[in-house]
Chain A
Amino acid sequence: MLQFKLVLLGDSSVGKSSIVHRFVKDTFDELRESTIGAAFLSQTIKVESEDQQEVVIKFEIWDTAGQERYKSLAPMYYRNANAALVVYDVTQEDSLNKAKAWVEELKNKVGDEDLVIFLVGNKVDLCEGSDNEDKRAVAATLAKQYAEDQGLMFDEVSAKTGHGVKEVFQAIGQRLYDTKKEELATRQRGNGNDGQVDINVPRPSTNDTTGCCS
């Protein structure tokens, strides 16, 4: 089993907790309490190896509070993270700007080049159907273009209907597996295949030497 740390970031009320709960418990609450600090959840998925074997991946998920000022606590959350889900609300234009700021922060502060960043537009259910098209404030093409430019994974989901949620985590799991597999192969060659490998491989350092508040 492989274990990865995943952190959710994004503006307040974009649906971070709802996405995690859809993924972990397959439930949805219209009104969910605002998250204070952070909440921890875990969930396992299975990905496929090249020879079609199942590989179990366990996600250690940190769901964080969205308010701007919680940014000062954020380094605590994304320290040693392998993946970040940066969430915005497709009906709130400004939430994409906040998401972009998070992407910047991750790129600047997290030294790990293998960090998987997945940009997620949530609440697509609100703008489904011809009546509701005007509720969309962020065009999918716009966000997609941004994600491509920045080298991020991207998709739109609905935590309410469940649309696309599992796929996001599946894709992250697969990506992490593929990356780490190569890393392992390289290391094993270097280590003379003695099975003694650096424990820090699945949790690479983020070189977050600045600490939380400095």
Chain B
Amino acid sequence: MNCSEKELPAESSPTKDEFKKCPSTPNLQNIRDLSSEHHREDHANGYLPIGNRFHQEEAVSPSAGSGRGSLLDLYGDDDNSYVQVSPTPSHHSLRRRSTDAGGNRTSTTRSVHSTTTKRRSAIPELQNLDRYGFRKQNNYITLKDYDNWWQNYSKYCVRRKHKWQLFLTKSGLSLNGDSPTKFPPQSEKLKRYVRKGIPAEWRGNAWWYFARGDEMLNKHKGLYDKLVDKCQAEKVKVRDIDVIERDLNRTFPDNIHFHRESFQVEDPLMIRSLRRVLVAFSLYDPNIGYCQSMNFLVGLLLFFMNEERAFWMLVIITKKYLPEVHSVNLEGVNIDQGVLILCIKQYLPELWTKMESTYTNDGEIGSSDQQDALKQMEILNKLPPITLSTASWFMSCFIGVVPIETTLRIWDCLFYEKSHFLFKVSLAIFKLCEGELVEKKPSLLFSQNIFASFSNESLLSNHTHDWAAHQNMNRDDYDMILFQVIQTFPKKLLNPNDIFDKVLFKKKIPLNKLDQDEIDKIRKYVISQRKKWVRFNKVLKKGDSSSSAIVAEAKVDSRNAAVSKEFGMSDDMIADVLASELSGFKRMSLAGVDWNTNIKARVKQMKQQGK
């Protein structure tokens, strides 16, 4: 999650002011006024205003046409307008599409009572929001780009939904009034359908189904309510409560459902739900508690399902899909970044060569062979700079990294195909901007490095931004370009099909061979290598200063039993390293053999020194 993506360019600030002054949409205001208690109890209906199960709206406007429809149009009308202004000043009409029990889509128009001021200020704003209440426009995407894309993509969504309806019907599954709860068994066809996008109004149910939410919920019936009651009644001291509170209003602050107006005494309904889920979770799993990024995960889930389900989905995500990623030491983040780096090395070798050239080794050991060996080892531990950017991709499962519709398509596949899909998407993003990254060749001849230029100050003063574009750019420049591209490029992926059609559906692109089995194996490998590194590091560091002394020290120090054993039995250790070299890649083209040869040499050398 980057702090810049929701920021508007300076010229759009009047709109933003307008937004802030505008007391939200009349409907939403009413929604927010509903009691939170009611919201929590009404698990079946009490979640976000999307899809056809937005019952709060019914409560607000009993006069509504079909009574089943969304606040925001999920697909967009043919005239591409969400809101039509009624000529009568005391009403405004929200034109939208809804779906009846048979799944037929109908258009209804209905009126909502409200004051003129509220209405008028709200209307232009709604047009600038997408179907989930996010701003269409940001620093990277213009309103025009958005509308042009949406015109086609909304049609694509309608087509896909139709295909899904046929698929379910043919599989003998009920559409359950446009809210199917069961989906066909796993198959290539289903995988393809999921990859092409689950219909927006089915997402909550589909994610829940694919993640096996019911299994979890049935095992712990009523637990969520108990946890919430516990938090509220006993005022239990939750360890991370301060951090949670500070993050609530910093979760999708620009989204209309999360945005709190300055005049509002109470938090919006969504924020209250978010608080309950996060606090309940930190009670439920004290090993994780609360980790920044979980606010966004739950926030997004709440668009599609009720609190209780969102809670259990968070449990499933943190346990099954992203183990250890949100734990107190964030070790899972480091492991996944190690895995990602190995994947880049394996599937995008050209890019890796470029990245590696910017990754400098702090090691001070003699020969270059040894340096290479240590550098290789270090990579999985002192991760390359690019992982500063990519760590958040995994923590937030791409929320805020790519535009919302693209995020949702990734989530569809995440729950169906498990965590390897996040790696696949990461590689696909790198693949898409590979050209941009590989072309920018950092000069390996640092003859024109900054200090050479620095000696000539008159030259310096003439060199500003152009300097970076100079073909003899240095490593720092390349790093900056790398960071910039990797941070900016995904934010422009407005059309999910860009990434799916151009990369993920292309069987000839090697990265598509990556599967869950492979990722699980690489993960195990990285875990073992990271643990080993800690031990090696102790030995190598101490070995440098005085090998014999360290052997003696290790032998007497019981805490260093493992070190002692390893050092004393280095042949075993070498065997151990070689055995663990099975990194999980189907094609074993990792430079593992060289690496091990070097370690072997190093250990032998140390052993001799020790004698």
A interface residues with partner B (beta carbon < 8 Å): 1-3, 12-13, 17, 20-21, 25, 27, 29, 31-42, 44, 49, 51, 53-56, 58, 60, 62-63, 65-70, 72-73, 75-77, 79, 184, 187-188, 193, 195-203, 205-214
Contacts and interface: CB of A to CB of B under 8 A. Distances in A.
Contacts of A211: 378, 381-382, 533-534, 537
A77 B1 CA distance: 16
B70 interface: no
B264 interface: no
Given A1-B463, A33-B251, A33-B400, A40 B7 contact: no
A31 to B, nearest CB: 4
Contacts of A3: 450, 476-477, 480
A60 B476 contact: yes
Interface string B327-345: 0111101100000000000
Contacts of B487: 39-40
Contacts of A40: 388-389, 483-484, 487
A34 B250 contact: yes
A195 B477 contact: no
Contact of B467 (A1, A184, A195, A212): A1
Contact of B533 (A53, A55, A214): A214
Contacts of A210: 537
Which residue, B329, B330, B455, B465, has most C-beta atoms of chain A within 10 A? B330
Contact of A21 (B4, B295, B452): B4
Which residue, B250, B449, B454, B537, has most C-beta atoms of chain A within 10 A? B454
Interface in B300-357: 328-331, 333-334
A184 B454 contact: yes
Contacts of B479: 60
Contacts, number: 202
Interface residues of B, number: 76
Which residue, B1, B252, B260, B541, has most C-beta atoms of chain A within 10 A? B1
Interface stretch (B80-88, B221-229, B391-399, B428-436): B391-399
Nearest to B258: A31
A195 B362 CA distance: 23
A202 B362 contact: no
B143 interface: no
A184 B452 CA distance: 10
Given A36-B392, A38-B388, A202-B476, 8 more contacts: A35-B2, A54-B461, A55-B461, A69-B328, A184-B454, A206-B362, A208-B362, A213-B329
B35 interface: no
A72 B329 contact: yes
Given A12-B246, A211-B533, A212-B383, A49 B464 contact: no
A76 B359 CA distance: 12
Given A31-B253, A200-B360, A213 B463 contact: no
